[in-house]
Amino acid sequence: MPGNGLWRTKSIEQSIADTDEPGTKLRKDLTAWDLTVFGVAVVIGAGIFTLTASTAGNIAGPSVSLSFVLAAIACALAALCYAEFASTVPVAGSAYTFSYATFGEFAAWIIGWDLVLEFAVGSAAVAKGWSAYLQTTLGLLGIDVKTEVGDGIKFDWGAVLLVAVLTVLLVVGTKLSSRVSAVITAIKVAVVLLVIVLGISYIKAENYTPFIPPAAESGPAAHTGIEQSLFSLITGYSGSTYGVLGMLAAASIVFFAFIGFDVVATTAEETKNPQKAVPRGILGSLAIVTVLYVAVTLVITGMVPYTKLATQPDGTRATLASAFADNGVDWAATVISVGALAGLTTVVMVLMLGQSRVLFAMSRDGLLPRGLAKTGSHGTPTRITIIIGVLVAVAAGFFPAGKLEEMVNVGTLFAFILVSAGVLVLRKTRPELERGFKVPLVPLVPILAILACLWLMLNLTALTWVRFLAWMALGVVVYFVYSRRNSVLGKTGHAPVKPEPVIKHGEEPGL
């Protein structure tokens, strides 16, 4: 579509051609193994170490393992769609780039703005969690040091230190950061395996009964009004504590534990053989973490009664270490704390990596200042990476950590829906494109992915929806004030022409 229409699309050919611009070219260093490590690195983190136990105690009971399975199914369906898109359009930007090629510029901007919510807010929140674990770990080693200091205005030096170190790593090069990530990921996977192997001997069969606890009218998750799930608000069902509704609501929350595999798609442009490596990285990392998650939930809920995992009146949340401490295995709590510290390190790093690649793609398209899309001597988007590092450091260093899991969840699920729908659109509009990976059973799989993500979104709180819509409204304002007028595609003023039939790098955009 020519001109300044909101739905002008950027052709696949032009997106690929843009990757060869000398000043904005990313270095191709990554393999399928690197991508799998990235996926496991970002997914195994806050979710497995903190969310598992508290969700079982507050919402689902032992059936939290089924909640993880449901969330994994939704992720797997969306992952298949991501894999097809990433192998077809091996360009930085993930869902943003995919949407630009299918739904048009305005939808692409919205999804890019949405990904800022997922990656930036998520990395700041996890950096705060890392700092808290650092304080705990130092305490276990006999070093009593506070990572958050100051009266009135608090400064979290631990979170800022982490973000600063990771920013340097990401500037120096994606390959180097992937090697660091591989080492740390090996440590935390070993800790997770220790939890499973050691915890099995403490399992008591009676703790699994009832597997799906009877629904409670009141409890830690029995909220009312705007604090209840959107599904409860619409249907009139009160609360979502335990019972089948509790299990379903828990699936929407533990979905946070899977967030991150989509980051693999943002590195497609830096991959040596993206058509094969990206699908393998996405699906491989998701398969690994799903097995580990389900095993951990079965062990933890078997070690102690689920009621002991509920959040305490003072706000203290149960963690994996809580179940071991309850069984008198205090040394395991120390090991788990160290594993959590390592785990959260790679989560923050890969979230920041994903954020920089999305903003890089948006800047290259002119929706953000073009000067930000310049790559440095290491072949990485230096300017954007440094800016993101500063912003995340400020947020993590000075702002209190709130309950951000649901905000990140709603944004990610929205992205998954657009990507899944995009597969259907691109199959219809560009059937001749070479696809390194194809989603099986189209249109069934993409439609199921959309329905599964919509269902999970309905089980998030109404308040989360209000905040999400407010963030999206701000994004619309930014688009019309700046992005629409500075769009590179809008300034060219010509409609792409569909090529026949081979895709050639460097051609004018085609539709």
What CATH number does the domain containing 65 carry?
1.20.1740.10
Per-residue pLDDT of the chain (511 residues; tens, 9 = 90+): 444 467 788 776 777 676 666 555 566 667 777 777 777 877 787 677 767 888 888 888 899 999 999 999 988 898 888 888 877 776 656 678 778 878 889 988 998 888 887 788 888 888 887 887 788 778 777 888 888 888 778 889 999 999 999 998 888 865 555 676 678 778 888 888 998 999 999 999 999 988 988 877 654 445 556 767 777 777 766 556 788 888 888 888 888 778 777 777 666 666 777 777 778 888 888 888 899 999 999 999 999 999 888 877 655 667 777 788 788 887 887 888 788 887 788 788 878 888 888 888 889 889 999 888 777 666 678 889 999 999 899 988 887 655 555 677 788 888 889 889 988 988 888 888 788 788 889 999 999 999 999 988 887 878 888 888 998 999 999 999 999 999 988 876 543 333 333 333 343 333 2
With respect to residue 52, please indicate whether it lies within any of the assigned structural domains.
yes
Peptide bond into 443 cis (omega under 30): yes
| Pair 362, 96: CB distance under 8 Å | yes
Angle at 468 between CA 127 and CA 92, to 5 degrees: 65
d(CA 368, CA 358): 11
Q: Angle formed by the axes of helices 64-88 and 444-458, to 10°?
A: 130
With respect to residue 403, please indicate whether it lies within any of the assigned structural domains.
yes
Q: And the tokens for 195? A: 């939890």
Distances (CA, A) of 165 to 99, 168, 349, 390, 393: 33, 5, 9, 12, 11
d(CA 348, CA 402): 17
With respect to residue 97, please indicate whether it lies within any of the assigned structural domains.
yes
With respect to residue 5, please indicate whether it lies within any of the assigned structural domains.
no
Expressed as residue numbers, the domain containing 385 is: 12-490
Start-to-end Cα distance in the chain: 8
Q: Where is 476: in which H helix or E strand? A: helix 462-478
With respect to residue 259, please indicate whether it lies within any of the assigned structural domains.
yes
Residues shown for the chain:
511
With respect to residue 422, please indicate whether it lies within any of the assigned structural domains.
yes
With respect to residue 351, please indicate whether it lies within any of the assigned structural domains.
yes
Contacts of 19 (CB under 8 A, 6+ apart): 25, 26, 90, 91, 92, 269
d(CA 475, CA 184): 35
| Pair 161, 148: CB distance under 8 Å | no
d(CA 362, CA 478): 13
How many domains does the chain divide into? 1
Q: Please give the model's pTM, rounded to 2 decimal places.
A: 0.76
With respect to residue 505, please indicate whether it lies within any of the assigned structural domains.
no
